[in-house]
Structure formats: C-alpha cells, structure tokens
Structure 1
Amino acid sequence: MKIIGLTGRSGCGKSTLTSLIVGAGYPCVDADKIAREVLLPGSSCLPLLQNIFGSDIVEEKTGQLRRRLLADRAFATPQGTAQLTQITQPAIYRRIDEEIEKAEKAGSRLFFVDGAVIIGTPFESRCDHIVLVSAPYEVSVARICARDGISAEMARRRLDAQVPEETLRQAADFCIENNGTVQQMQERCRALLETLRKEAYD
C-alpha cells in the first residue's frame, strides 16, 4: 500500500483536495485532527505534559487542556517546543499507524495522510509521495481572514511564520495549484489520483 502525504501552508485549500479524495472513496486520516485528539481529557500525554509545563495546564474539574496556556509555555523556548513534540508525536504516529493497518487489511492500495506539518518530520520518510497544495500568497491571506475572522496583517504574520513555500516545493513529488475554480481543482485531483492509481496497481 502506498502512503501519500498531503500538505500545504495555511489557506492553501488543502482541505478541499482532501474532501475530494475522500469523496472518491480513498482512506484518508487528518493528522492535525489526531494531534488535537491526543490531548483530550484522559489522554496519557496530559500527565507527561503537566510534569514539564505545570499541572495548571489542565482544568482540575473537567480534565480539559488549557491549550493556549500550554502553547504559551511550550513555544516560549526551542527546548519547550522539542519537549512537546517528544511527548505528542509518538501518540499521533501510533494513531496514524492504526488507521494505516486498518486500510491495509481492507485491501486499500492508496492511503492519504492530511497534515500541515509532514515535511521535515520523521513521518516524511514514511510517505511514498508528498503532494503539496499551493495557492498564491494573497489568496491564502484572504482565505485565512475569511476562515478565522482575523485581520490581513495577522494572517500574513501567520503565513510568514510557516515553512517557506519553496522548501515545501523542493520536498514535494506533486504540486496541486489551487488558484482557480472548484472545477479546475476537481480535474487536478482526478489527474493526481489517476497517476497514483496507475503506480499503485502496477
């Protein structure tokens, strides 16, 4: 079974491609969603994070993680960011592996992993191909503003803090330009799936 990583910067429209792929009947896991799920109440990650970043990062009554507080502390230093990654990454990968195993048992030949952060992580080497979804900078800014209700300045700041587009392009095997109509995106998705299907069934 071929594992295909789907990635792209904020506002690129990656979720549009993912929904088209799922709509075409292919198994796909959302790594960003899993990253949120491994921090839900009862997760084995939470006590480990509390040991490092303070017990008050979890609400005492509800067991809910105070995500903003954790982010403020973890991302304050490179060491904190590394510690957060060391705790959460194995849990995320275990969940993805479970989904891969299920799809493989079901006889799937292609499995997609949708993740904003794949390139530059250990999971990159697990992928047979990386597909980058790309959109013009200002188009991405407008999408982020509409989606998150923030100013264009804040959206640009968020984009500028992410991995540069050029770095992602160098690592990607395929690039889907999301710069036109929905119909054009559908056609590009069909062409991508056709190429991947041929390779998977050869």
Structure 2
Amino acid sequence: MNIGLTGGIASGKSSVSEFLVSLGAILIDADKIAREVMLPGHPVLAAVARQFGQAVLLEDGALNRKKLGEIVFNHPEQLQALNDITHPAIRQEMRDRKHTYEEQFPDRLVVSDIPLLYESGLENEFEQIMLVYVPRAVQLDRLMKRDGMDEHQASRRLEAQMDIEEKKQRADIIIDNSRDFEETKKQILVYWHRAGLS
C-alpha cells in the first residue's frame, strides 16, 4: 500500500512522516533524493555541469550550490533548464524505490514525502494522498517563528505554493496539525488502524 504525503510550508509534515516511520512505514523523501542526485559521480550532477559549466562544481567535484543559485535565481529560463534535468530523475528514482519497497514489503505502508506534490501533478501516482493541514494563519505564524521572517516575507513564501485550502479539498486523508502534536498522533493512529496497518 502506498500514499503520497504533502502539506504546506511550516505545516509539520516532517513530524508526521517521522511518526509514520515509527509505526512501521517506509519513507521515500523527495528532498533527500533531490540532494542525492547532486552528489559527485551522479549522472544528474554531470548533466547539470554540462548545462551550466564547470563553474558550478567545487574543486572536489561537489556541487557549488551558491554558484548554481546565482545562475538560476533571477533567470526563469535557467531555472526551468535545471528543473528539466533534475525533476525527471528525482521522479524516476522515487517510482523505482516505491516499486521495490512494495514488492519487498507488501504488508508495509510506503510513504512518499513530496512537498510540491499537487504543484507537480503527481497525485495520480499514489493510492491516496495524505495532507498535513494547518490553516494559513497558523502556517504564517509558524513560518515567521521558524525562519525568522517578517510577515511580508512569510506571505510571499506561502503564495509561491498552492493554497492549503485547495490542497485540503483534493486530499484523501487530512491530518490537522494545528494543535499540539499529541492530537496529531491520535489522528494518524486512527488512519493507521482504519487502513488495517496495525
């Protein structure tokens, strides 16, 4: 059985994924895979260096994130070129792992943690989508506290993603993480038992 796990920024998705793993789920983390494909020796990093030049590599062959950021940050066409290289590779790696885990562990829940799941149009790749939900006002408050942002900066970050209420309309499973985490755990356990995973 598999689900896609998503949420808005500062919704507490990582805490939910950690709790699911503690119950016995297997986690596939999109952000982690995105970092892995940029490690020295990976064909994706080699393709990025061909596209943007050797200046995006450090002397040891690792990615110079600062240099790459300078190239793509204010140039949408360059950012698109980077995404065209990295996104298909990340998605394929996630699909391969999901397939492998489902074959090896047919009785366990496979959770794919994808921050921009809806924005990337990936909802049809999963049996169900679980959304970690907090209202926008809570998101804003947590983001300001977590990242030391002012309200304007935090609002701009939120506006870069699909509205959390739209995600809520589309999700199959909603975990409300706007109160304390003990309440959140109770909701996850209800889902876990209903899905026959205990």
TM-score by length of 1: 0.85
1:58 corresponds to 2:57:
yes
CA contact (8 A) 1:27 1:103 kept: no
Correspondence for 2:37: 38
Correspondence for 1:181: 180
Query: 2: distance between equivalents of 1:135 and 1:114?
Result: 17
Q: Give the partner amino acid of 1:123.
A: L
Query: 2: distance between equivalents of 1:167 and 1:77?
Result: 29
Correspondence for 1:68: 66
Correspondence for 1:20: 19
Residues 170 and 54 from structure 1, CA distance in 2 versus in 1: closer, same or farther, beyond 3 angstroms?
farther
Q: How does 1:1-202 map to 2 (within 5 A)?
A: 2-59=1-58, 61-100=59-98, 101-197=100-196
CA contact (8 A) 1:9 1:134 kept: yes
Deviations 1:156-196 (A, max 9, x none): 32122222223322331122111111110011111122233
Unaligned runs of 5+ in 1: none
Once the two structures are TM-superposed, the CA of residue 103 in structure 1 deviates from its matched residue by: 4.0
Moved more, 68-77 or 81-90: 68-77
Two-structure CA RMSD over aligned residues (Å): 2.3
Give aligned-pair identity as a percent: 32
Report SS of the residue matched to 1:197: coil
Unaligned runs of 5+ in 2: none
Once the two structures are TM-superposed, the CA of residue 89 in structure 1 deviates from its matched residue by: 1.9
Query: 2: distance between equivalents of 1:69 and 1:176?
Result: 39
Query: 2: distance between equivalents of 1:111 and 1:133?
Result: 16
CA contact (8 A) 1:110 1:197 kept: no
Aligned length: 197
Deviations 1:118-146 (A, max 9, x none): 11325322111111111122322333344
Q: Give the partner amino acid of 2:134.
A: A
Q: Give the partner amino acid of 2:88.
A: P
Once the two structures are TM-superposed, the CA of residue 44 in structure 1 deviates from its matched residue by: 0.9
Once the two structures are TM-superposed, the CA of residue 112 in structure 1 deviates from its matched residue by: 0.6
Following superposition, which runs of at least 4 residues in structure 1 exceed 4 angstroms of deviation? Answer: none
Query: 1: distance between equivalents of 2:92 and 2:126?
Result: 15
